[in-house]
Structure 1
Amino acid sequence: MKLEHVNLTVRDPKATAAILCDVFDWTVRWEGESIHGGYSVHVGEAESYLALYAPPVDIQNAESSYYRAGGLNHVGIVVRDLDLIEARVKAAGFVPTSHADYEPGKRFYFEGPDEIEYEVVSYA
């Protein structure tokens, strides 16, 4: 078994997809109208992706996900070149934080569009 995708609610799926494609060298796998009259963009690789969904109404941020049952705390992305991805994250206007070396790799985090936190990790 493997994880195929995670579906995230965002304000602008196309804009979020463009940022994630630039940072992680991903591609748009599909986009179009989706559930409840919303719009979705699927970005990622051949076997896994993030489904970025926007409902047809304005959305509001809730309190911290770390204190809410069912909250999404972060999305972990494995990369080969941590320094390259960190440079892309900075170029996209986001701030890398919480750098750590740990067994078996290195990582950092950044808060991307819609306050979704990403953990970027390399096991190289």
Structure 2
Amino acid sequence: MVTKLEHVNVTVSDLDRSIALVQDVFGWKLRWRGGSIHSGESAHVGDDETYVALYRHPEQAGRPVDSYTTTGGLNHIGVLVEDLDAVEAKVKAAGLEPHSHADYEPGRRFYFRDHDGTEWEVVSYP
């Protein structure tokens, strides 16, 4: 039996801004956008097989203080890319700050936080 992660779902404060960010940084396409649970709106952005579901609720609360100490918290979203340096340049162009760069076995990586504080890990393997 083959299993594969299809998507993750994350709440955002500005759906249009979040869609534009992941489209620009990762080259993803908008697969679907429409009404969603609890009177919210969702957008599925990714490729033909996997995506990130971006969700905006009209009355949402702020984010938890620290996802790494919050049970059930989303710590980061990992994205595999071919050209780590090109993606990092796009992150910087979006006004965001890459951090925690590392060369490690088996590849290279960095992290960044988006406008809502969600952390993304960007990784590349040789």
TM-score band by shorter chain is over 0.9
For normalisation by structure 1, the TM-score amounts to: 0.97
Q: Which runs of 4+ in 1 moved over 4 A?
A: none
| 2:40 maps to amino acid | G
Deviation at 1:2, TM superposition (A): 0.1
1:11, 1:114 within 8 Å by CA — same for their partners in 2?
yes
- The unaligned stretches of length 5 or more in structure 2 are none
Please show how residues 16-95 of structure 1 align to structure 2 within 5 Å.
16-95=18-97
Aligned residues: 124
For normalisation by structure 2, the TM-score amounts to: 0.96
Identity of aligned residues (%): 56
Deviation at 1:61, TM superposition (A): 2.0
| 2:124 maps to amino acid | S
RMSD: 0.8
The equivalent residue for 1:10 is 12
Deviation at 1:15, TM superposition (A): 1.1
Distance in 1 (alpha carbons) for counterparts of 2:114 and 2:64: 16
Distance in 2 (alpha carbons) for counterparts of 1:113 and 1:76: 17
CA-to-partner distance for each residue in 1:65-111, whole Å, 9 max, x for gaps?
00000000000000000000000000000011000000100000001
